[in-house]
Amino acid sequence: MNATILPSDEKHHPVLLNEILSIISPQNGGTFIDCTFGQGGYSKAILKFPKTKVYALDRDNNSKQFALNLKIKNKNRFFFQNLKFGDLDKLDLENKKIKALIFDLGFSYSQIKDYKRGLSFMSEGPLDMRMGLNEFSALEVINNLEQKDLELIFKFFGEEKDSKRVAKNIILERQKNLIDTQKLVKIINKSKKKNNKKTHNATKVFQALRIFVNKEISELIKGLIKSVKILEKNGLIIFVSFHSLEDKIIKTFFRSLSENKKTSRYLPDNEEKKNILSLIKKKPILPSNEEIKLNSPSRSAKLRYAIKINNDENFEAEIYRKFQFLLDIENLSEKL
């Protein structure tokens, strides 16, 4: 699923599914939101339990075909919308009490297989990278942003050590040729001081571009904030992430809302801010060796979850402040 190396068999394996089912206990019924429907692995598994309802969304309109099959079988228990999870509040929930919101971040196997999207450095296709409901493509980014902006994107969204050299070589090449997926791979290979031993040289730059094109940082932050707002007490937020930048944002968000300290030591105890979330486990849940054997891309997955224990006060401004640096990089797209 969410990795640039494709699993050898094409059967769909929803990542950490058993762990998610044991957290949300669908056997007791309830209404759930599958925020990244994809091919519907989680929704399908939840709907097997008779007293459940699922609201699903995905930014990729191609998910609709998988959603239609589920709708036929579960007419009054399953609802799909082509929507970004950053717009969760636009979902028509008819005042439903939500038991859990589930996010399985990144892209799906069918998206990466689709060469027209140019998501994989293995594919020969245009540099596109749009997952759906986007404003611009990777080609526009590569062809229009200045060297210093590209460098920032590669450095902070991909942790690419040779970001400066890659950005410089892109500028040189784009004056001569249109840069497609394989041309970008060649530029990256040429720019690397040392070949990566464990991963393909192009992994980090491709990750950075995909995050930038799909505005994944603000999507994630809005998804986190809006989930807390939608939930009532005892509701759950569950995130499966695949790279350290996503995991850092989720961890920081969960900590900020679960470790509120007194704003001042001179305030009486009853003035102490209440925690909004509680973390059942501080450490992430990882896939078992069996799951990794069956579905190798699951090896980088991390699951974190939290339970809402108090109603939310105004916490958004503080959260946006914490991630302002990353959001400023994302906002470089305004130059396009």
Ligand X SMILES: C[S@@+](CC[C@H](N)C(=O)[O-])C[C@H]1O[C@@H](n2cnc3c(N)ncnc32)[C@H](O)[C@@H]1O
Residues binding ligand X (CB under 6 A): 1-2, 14, 36, 38-42, 57-60, 63, 84-86, 104, 106-108, 131-132, 219
SS3 245: helix
Query: What is the nearest approach in angstroms of ligand X to the Cβ of residue 45?
Result: 8
- Rounded to whole angstroms, how far apart are CA atoms 157 and 210? 9
Cβ closest to ligand X, residue 114 vs residue 162: 114
Query: What is the nearest approach in angstroms of ligand X to the Cβ of residue 47?
Result: 13
Cβ closest to ligand X, residue 169 vs residue 214: 214
* Chain mean position to CA 143: 25
Query: What is the bridge-based pairing of β-strands 302-308 and 78-82?
Result: unpaired
- Rounded to whole angstroms, how far apart are CA atoms 3 and 301? 10
- Rounded to whole angstroms, how far apart are CA atoms 229 and 89? 9
Query: What is the nearest approach in angstroms of ligand X to the Cβ of residue 132?
Result: 6
Cβ closest to ligand X, residue 38 vs residue 118: 38
Query: What is the nearest approach in angstroms of ligand X to the Cβ of residue 1?
Result: 5
Specify whether the CB–CB gap between 60 and 80 falls below 8 A: no
Instruction: Give the Cβ contact number of residue 132 at 10 Å.
Output: 16
Tokens of 39: 């091919």
* Position 253, amino acid: F
Cβ closest to ligand X, residue 14 vs residue 118: 14
Cβ closest to ligand X, residue 69 vs residue 278: 69
Instruction: Give the Cβ contact number of residue 199 at 10 Å.
Output: 12
Query: What is the nearest approach in angstroms of ligand X to the Cβ of residue 288?
Result: 17
